[in-house]
Amino acid sequence: MADRLKGKNILITGASGGLGERIAYYSAAEGAEVILTARSEARLQTVREKIISDLGAACRTFVLDVSRTEEIESVFKAAGPIDILVNNAGFGIFEPALEASLEDMKSMFEVNVFGLIACTKMALPHMTAQNSGHIINIASQAGKISTPKSSLYAATKHAVLGFSNSLRMELAETGVNVTTVNPGPIRTDFFNAADKTGDYVKSIGKWMLDPDQVAQKIVSIMLTNKREINLPVWMSGVSKLYQLCPAVVEKIGRGAFYKK
């Protein structure tokens, strides 16, 4: 692992906390230079200082709102060539479609989908030119199992999976790998916005994934041709069953799905 990542430039969006921060930490521990982006400069600096003090690793930061294309272009030019891109920035709001605002819908697509695609397009020219690289897109089990009260969020993650799967085939002869990460609920600040009532976290709190374990799994497959990471295993099994028998899963699981 150390040899594979040593000296590689890894850019991570949404790296000021949660899963992105942990991916940065474990990547730096393996000898990579991590380039952290997020909207909060103060939080980025906190993560950077921890990485430098704990690991003595190279770490750069850039303030970036991935919903702003002009900022993406500027940051990627300043960052220079990227060997691994982790598209982690994203958010969700759990509301029925009838109640969700068009503004929230637009914001989720701008960050979760359009921002991810724009970052990918900025990173790809160098990767294809050197015939190696890795695009890692943080999607969700919501992109595989549609559930009530997350229709807009699920739509963005379905889009991420569709884009990633097509991109993987387009890049098959280039040496650039594309991996999607499809986790279930992770114990991070994501739910501060997604689950404003706190009911969902109360219902499934004991099943939530540890961000450190998810991050370590992601770092372990960097610069390999791993197609997908699906976590937890039991939820991955449900998503496979859903693909085969959607009506059955929707009928049996409706009560559980409404727990959010």
The H or E element that residue 209 is part of is: none
- What is the pLDDT, as a whole number, of residue 184? 86
Percentage of the residues of the chain whose pLDDT score is greater than 90:
72
Find the range with the poorest average confidence among 8-12, 136-140, 252-256: 252-256
Between strands 9-12 and 33-38, the pairing is: parallel
What percentage of the chain exceeds 70 in pLDDT? 82
Q: Which residues, at least 6 apart from 190, have a Cβ–Cβ distance to it below 8 Å? A: 18, 91, 92
Q: Catalytic residues, which ones?
A: 153
CA dihedral 38, 111, 202, 17 (to 10 degrees): -10
62-88: pLDDT as tens digits: 999 999 999 999 999 999 999 999 999
Q: Phi, psi (5° rounding) for residue 29?
A: -65, -25
| Residues 206-241: tens digit of each pLDDT | 668 999 999 999 999 999 999 999 998 766 666 676
Delimit the domains of the chain by residue range.
Answer: 2-257
The stretch 171-196 carries a mean pLDDT of: 82
Angle at 147 between CA 142 and CA 151, to 5 degrees: 80
CA distances from 203 to 109, 230, 243, 260 (A): 27, 21, 25, 8
Residue 1 — pLDDT band, cuts 50, 70, 90? very low
Residue pair 178/168 in contact by the 8 Å Cβ criterion? yes
Q: Are 94 and 69 within 8 A, CB to CB?
A: no
Residue 52, pLDDT above cutoff 60? yes
What is the pLDDT, as a whole number, of residue 169? 98
pLDDT class of 204 with cuts at 50, 70, 90: low
DSSP-derived letter for residue 186 is: B
Q: What is the DSSP letter of 98?
A: T
Fold that domain 2-257 belongs to in CATH: Rossmann fold (3.40.50)
Q: What pLDDT sits at residue 246?
A: 67
Give, for 144, the enclosing helix (H) or strand (E).
none
